[in-house]
């Protein structure tokens, strides 16, 4: 989704804004632009397309970098189109009529039509189709009756309904950026005699190690050596900065062709780190319970929990489905998983005895935040799993926070953060089971032992990448794929279909394998490969049986199966082998060849792997 960067300080400004915009590219965008103070005016340059289009214009039109040693001030933006196509005109920043105020925006203005109509009646002229333009025109309109721009901003934001993070420049205040937050994330980075503004802390970590998260309904006035915070009523607020680790290498592909393949390859290390942080090295130490540092769940409270609800979107939702399986299996507590955007319906079912788990890689997904806030209002206990400790979700979780520590995921499609999320869910399930005594110590020890083996098994699976590549490319011309799995591998079928769609734009569906014969089987023919996840265990025979039904309809047959599975070798046209693994731990391995399948087919089709069309990494609108 849209990304915002801002800078005020003595350094040359354009290289900083461009570096910031490049670091925000992973969020997904289709146009970009900057606004800087130049001489006595505000200079706006913007372009549809990728950042190189903006860079080309900046090179050719003589926009100054801003002199070293002078106060330079400006904002930049990557736009993911919502209202109006991706065009030069709709790109941000947007000006008011007098070109005195420039605004960049991430989010959505729900009442923009109403505001626009009122402004049109008052004689305001609009040039773009965006909801953003109403913000700048409204501030400009209200400024006529205001004692300051801050006052005009306060009046205007109170008239707007929606979610918005804003960066605002004002011609008459050439050394100042205003930032506004309502729901959508925006963070201030604090340096020595310079300050920054960005949509995420990863971008700020390129420049500084101190940040201030703007809270909901807050405004910041940022100059090079001061940050003042205000409420939407204009009252001053005090906040202390948080520390972040300065990091300038997360955009480095480290020799890999794409971030995605790098991130797939990092999964063994990610899981190994998480396990060693939370699980002792051996089961011999009987006191070695799972340790979850930022979880402060009282054992009496846990013993009373009668229902768990997991709220998440997309890949995080699939992780939640695996979590349901493991939580129910280990704790016996009925667990439900809901798309965060569908949560409206079950709010009334939550009580003080419920436990709600919100899962979000970014911690900024608007649907998830909105559902979690509603759930929290019921007084339920809330645990968050996120990869972003500086996110709003982490902020909402306070005492009950699980950080998935997968490192920054740059590719839009989630891979390593998915396996990190499921790791945290397994650890949470064991933690609850150990606290409430729902499962025998011996069987928990056996599971922990299996988990400890995972990093090595994942490594062995990743080493088979080339073999998978050769096996899957013969299916790259197929227009449709069906993925099937059962039990704990049904969510992997859903996740594999999502990955293939996102990366290759090939249509794909995931089904619980038993459901195939209830309808989806109608689509099968020799052009539609069926990919079955068949791991030894309770579901094995049934998935094989369902696969045979597909084979009888002449669908090309692919399986993910363990080494030495002779039955699978004889039934399927192609078997993507994984090392032997027990069923309950199998999703960590079965997902990997399917991530590779999506990657290699997409690469063969020359897709934009790290930034697939129409997608955004951090979906900050509902
Ligand atoms: C899929 C993907 C999305 C996200 C979803 C939720 O590859 O990345 O489906 O999983 O948008 O995002 P988070 O986890 O940030 O809430």
**pLDDT of 81:** 86
Ligand 1 pocket mutation pick from 403, 619, 620, 621 by most atoms within 8 angstroms of CB: 619
Under a CB-based contact definition with an 8 Å cutoff, are residues 582 and 555 in contact?
no
**pLDDT of 83:** 86
Ligand 1 centroid distance, CA of 117 (Å): 35
CATH value at residue 472: 3.40.50.10490
pLDDT digits (tens, 9 = 90+) for 51-89: 999 999 998 876 766 666 678 999 999 998 888 888 889
Considering the chain, what percentage of its residues have pLDDT values greater than 70?
A: 97
Of the residues 443, 462, 481, the one at which a domain ends: 462
**pLDDT of 622:** 80
Beta bridge partners of residue 509, listed in sequence order: 482
Helix (H, G, I), strand (E, B) or coil at 510: strand
Average pLDDT, the chain: 93
Ligand 1 pocket mutation pick from 199, 310, 365 by most atoms within 8 angstroms of CB: 365
Q: Is 386 in the pocket of ligand 1 (CB under 6 A)?
A: no
Ligand 1 centroid distance, CA of 544 (Å): 31
294-303 average pLDDT score: 88
pLDDT digits (tens, 9 = 90+) for 379-429: 999 999 999 998 999 999 987 999 999 999 999 999 999 999 999 999 999
**pLDDT of 68:** 61
58 in the same domain as 11: yes
Considering the chain, what percentage of its residues have pLDDT values greater than 90?
A: 83
Q: What is the largest CA-CA distance in the chain?
A: 80
**For ligand 1, atom 9, which residue shows the shortest CA distance?**
314
Q: Is 368 in the pocket of ligand 1 (CB under 6 A)?
A: yes
Q: Is 360 in the pocket of ligand 1 (CB under 6 A)?
A: yes
**pLDDT of 273:** 95
Q: Is 365 in the pocket of ligand 1 (CB under 6 A)?
A: yes
**pLDDT of 249:** 81
Structural domain includes residue 612: no
pLDDT digits (tens, 9 = 90+) for 1-57: 799 999 999 999 999 999 999 999 988 889 999 999 998 889 999 999 999 999 999
Q: Categorize the per-residue pLDDT at 287 as very low, low, confident or very high, splitting at 50, 70 and 90.
A: low
Q: Categorize the per-residue pLDDT at 505 as very low, low, confident or very high, splitting at 50, 70 and 90.
A: very high
169 in the same domain as 25: yes
Under a CB-based contact definition with an 8 Å cutoff, are residues 430 and 444 in contact?
yes
Q: Is 619 in the pocket of ligand 1 (CB under 6 A)?
A: yes
Q: Is 338 in the pocket of ligand 1 (CB under 6 A)?
A: no
Q: Is 433 in the pocket of ligand 1 (CB under 6 A)?
A: no
**pLDDT of 619:** 86
Structural domain includes residue 455: yes
306 in the same domain as 210: no
451-469 average pLDDT score: 97
**2: annotated active-site residue:** yes
d(CA 177, CA 7): 8
Ligand 1 pocket mutation pick from 259, 311, 315 by most atoms within 8 angstroms of CB: 315
pLDDT digits (tens, 9 = 90+) for 527-556: 999 999 999 999 999 999 999 999 999 999
Q: Omega into 93 within 30° of 0, i.e. cis? A: yes
Q: Categorize the per-residue pLDDT at 601 as very low, low, confident or very high, splitting at 50, 70 and 90.
A: very high
Q: How far is CA 78 from CA 1, 106, 131, 370, 477, in A?
A: 8, 9, 15, 24, 33
Token pair for 368: 């998830």
Ligand 1 centroid distance, CA of 362 (Å): 8
Domain that holds residue 275: 259-462
Structural domain includes residue 251: no
25 in the same domain as 101: yes
Ligand 1 centroid distance, CA of 442 (Å): 36
Q: Categorize the per-residue pLDDT at 346 as very low, low, confident or very high, splitting at 50, 70 and 90.
A: low
Token pair for 103: 């605004």
Considering only residues 193 and 293, tell me which one the structure prediction assigns the higher pLDDT: 193
Ligand 1 pocket mutation pick from 316, 341, 500 by most atoms within 8 angstroms of CB: 316
Distance of CA 85 to the CA centre of its chain: 23
**405: annotated active-site residue:** no
**pLDDT of 54:** 95
Ligand 1 centroid distance, CA of 402 (Å): 17
Q: Is 19 in the pocket of ligand 1 (CB under 6 A)?
A: no
| pLDDT at residue 281 greater than cutoff 80 | no
127 in the same domain as 41: yes
Q: Is 314 in the pocket of ligand 1 (CB under 6 A)?
A: yes
Ligand 1 centroid distance, CA of 496 (Å): 14
Helix (H, G, I), strand (E, B) or coil at 370: helix
Ligand 1 centroid distance, CA of 359 (Å): 10
369 in the same domain as 481: no
**pLDDT of 481:** 98
β-strands 574-578, 101-109 pairing: unpaired
478 in the same domain as 446: no
Q: Is 415 in the pocket of ligand 1 (CB under 6 A)?
A: no
Q: Which atom of ligand 1 is nearest to the CA of 415?
A: 7
Of 2, 73, 154, 313, which residue is the catalytic one? 2
357 in the same domain as 487: no
**pLDDT of 372:** 95
156 in the same domain as 38: yes
Considering only residues 283 and 339, tell me which one the structure prediction assigns the higher pLDDT: 339
Structural domain includes residue 177: yes
328 in the same domain as 181: no
Token pair for 394: 């982490």
Q: Kind and range of the H or E element at 227? A: strand 226-231
**pLDDT of 284:** 63
Q: Which atom of ligand 1 is nearest to the CA of 317?
A: 10
Q: Is 620 in the pocket of ligand 1 (CB under 6 A)?
A: no
Q: Where is mean pLDDT largest: 71-75, 342-346, 491-495? A: 491-495
311 in the same domain as 164: no
Q: Is 362 in the pocket of ligand 1 (CB under 6 A)?
A: yes
Strand arrangement, sheet containing 195-198: 41-48, 31-38, 72-79, 3-9, 195-198, 187-190, 210-213, 242-243
Q: Is 391 in the pocket of ligand 1 (CB under 6 A)?
A: no
Of the residues 441, 462, 483, the one at which a domain ends: 462
**For ligand 1, atom 10, which residue shows the shortest CA distance?**
315
Structural domain includes residue 620: no
CATH value at residue 188: 3.60.20.10
Instruction: Count the domains in the chain.
Output: 3
Residue whose tokens read 């506004």: 180
Q: Categorize the per-residue pLDDT at 288 as very low, low, confident or very high, splitting at 50, 70 and 90.
A: confident
Structural domain includes residue 76: yes
Residue whose tokens read 């992997």: 492
d(CA 608, CA 602): 8
Of 46, 176, 439, 617, which residue is the catalytic one? 617
Of the residues 434, 462, 490, the one at which a domain ends: 462
Structural domain includes residue 197: yes
224 in the same domain as 351: no
Structural domain includes residue 7: yes
């Amino acid at each position: 989704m849209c990304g915002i960067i801002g800078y005020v300080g003595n350094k040359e400004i354009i290289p900083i804004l461009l570096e910031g915009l490049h670091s925000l590219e992973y969020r997904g965008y289709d146009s970009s632009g900057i606004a800087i103070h130049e001489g006595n005016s505000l200079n706006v340059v913007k372009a549809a397309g990728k950042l190189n289009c903006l860079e080309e214009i900046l090179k050719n039109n003589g926009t100054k970098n801003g002199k070293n040693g002078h106060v330079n001030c400006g904002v930049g933006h990557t736009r993911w189109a919502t209202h109006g196509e991706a065009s030069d005109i709709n790109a941000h920043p947007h000006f008011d009529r007098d070109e005195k105020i420039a605004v960049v925006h991430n989010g959505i203005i729900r009442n923009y039509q109403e505001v626009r109509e009122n402004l049109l009646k008052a004689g305001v002229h609009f040039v773009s189709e965006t909801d953003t333009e109403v913000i700048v025109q409204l501030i400009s309109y209200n400024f006529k009756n205001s004692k300051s721009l801050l006052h005009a901003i306060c009046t205007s934001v109170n008239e707007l309904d929606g979610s918005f993070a804003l960066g605002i420049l004002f011609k008459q205040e050439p050394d100042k950026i205003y930032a506004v937050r309502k729901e959508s994330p925006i963070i201030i980075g604090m340096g020595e005699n310079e300050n920054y503004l960005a949509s995420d802390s990863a971008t700020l970590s390129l420049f500084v190690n101190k940040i201030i998260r703007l809270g909901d309904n807050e405004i910041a006035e940022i100059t090079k050596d001061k940050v003042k915070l205000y409420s939407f009523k204009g009252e001053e607020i005090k906040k202390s900065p948080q520390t972040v680790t300065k990091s300038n290498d997360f955009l480095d592909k480290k020799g890999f062709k794409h971030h995605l393949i790098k991130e797939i390859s990092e999964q063994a290390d990610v899981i190994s780190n998480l396990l060693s942080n939370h699980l002792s090295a051996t089961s011999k130490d009987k006191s070695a319970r799972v340790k979850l540092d930022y979880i402060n769940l009282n054992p009496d409270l846990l013993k009373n929990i009668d229902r768990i609800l997991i709220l998440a979107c997309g890949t995080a939702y699939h992780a939640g489905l695996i979590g349901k399986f493991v939580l129910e299996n280990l704790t016996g507590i009925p667990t439900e998983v809901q798309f965060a955007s569908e949560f409206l319906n079950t709010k009334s079912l939550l009580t003080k005895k419920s436990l709600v788990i919100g899962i979000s890689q970014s911690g900024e997904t608007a649907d998830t935040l909105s559902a979690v806030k509603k759930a929290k209002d019921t007084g339920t206990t809330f645990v968050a799993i996120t990869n972003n400790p500086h996110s709003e979700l982490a902020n909402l979780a306070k005492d009950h926070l699980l950080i998935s520590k997968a490192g920054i995921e740059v590719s839009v499609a989630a891979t390593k953060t998915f396996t990190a999320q499921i790791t945290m869910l397994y650890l949470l399930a064991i933690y609850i089971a150990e606290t409430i005594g729902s499962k025998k110590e011996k069987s928990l020890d056996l599971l922990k032992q299996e988990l400890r083996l995972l990093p090595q098994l994942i490594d062995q699976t990743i080493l088979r990448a080339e073999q998978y590549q050769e096996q899957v490319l013969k299916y790259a011309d197929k227009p449709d794929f069906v993925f099937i799995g059962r039990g704990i591998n049904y969510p992997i079928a859903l996740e594999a279909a999502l990955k293939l769609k996102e990366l290759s734009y090939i249509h794909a569906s995931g089904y619980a394998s038993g459901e195939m014969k209830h309808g989806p089987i109608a689509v099968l023919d020799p052009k539609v490969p069926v990919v079955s996840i068949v791991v030894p265990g309770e579901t094995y025979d049934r998935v094989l049986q369902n696969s045979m039904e597909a084979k009888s309809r002449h669908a090309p047959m692919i399986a993910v199966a363990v080494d030495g599975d002779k039955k699978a070798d004889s039934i399927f046209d192609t078997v993507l082998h994984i090392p032997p693994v027990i069923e309950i731990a199998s999703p960590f391995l079965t997902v990997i060849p399917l991530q590779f399948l999506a990657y290699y087919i997409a690469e063969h089709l020359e897709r934009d792997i790290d930034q697939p069309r129409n997608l955004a990494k951090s979906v900050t609108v509902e």
